[in-house]
Amino acid sequence: MIYTASSRSLACLENVVNRDQFGLMRPFNILTINCPPSIKIKTVLLKSLSPDWKDRDQIHLTRSLGENWIRENRSAILRVPSSLIEEENNYLLNPNHPDFKLIKIVKTQPFVFDSRIKL
């Protein structure tokens, strides 16, 4: 499974909450990808999640949701609400799905986290 975000700023924020200062000092790249409109995107609706889905001790709920999606192999992309900003989305990519070969990296750029983050 490949974990992506809908924007650079959301990807940055997702990394900040999941890494320490040392982890943020490693080299990163922003990958811009193109997903043709013909690719089916399955969506997890916010209202389908339990009220406490964002709690750290409930991570097993979203993890099992992603594992089931991968196992079912019904789509190459799963749109999920961000646990940090519910109105924004992250996208999980399934490399085992036949449509995955249609997803293309169109641009790669180095990315450096601002040194003021997590001081």
Helix, strand, coil: what percent of the chain each, to 5? Answer: 35, 25, 40
17, amino acid identity: V
pLDDT at 118: 63
- CA 78 – CA 90 distance, rounded (Å): 8
pLDDT at 7: 95
Listed in sequence order, the residues at least 6 apart from 107 whose beta carbon sits closer than 8 Å to its beta carbon are 30, 31, 32
Task: Give the residue among 18, 21, 28, 9 at the shortest CA–CA distance from 85.
Answer: 9
- Please compute the mean of the pLDDT values over residues 99-107 and round it to a whole number: 97
Q: Which pTM does this prediction carry?
A: 0.89
**What is the tens place of the pLDDT at every residue in 25-77?**
888 999 999 999 999 999 999 999 999 999 988 889 889 999 999 999 999 99
User: Which neighbouring-strand residues pair with 105?
Assistant: 33
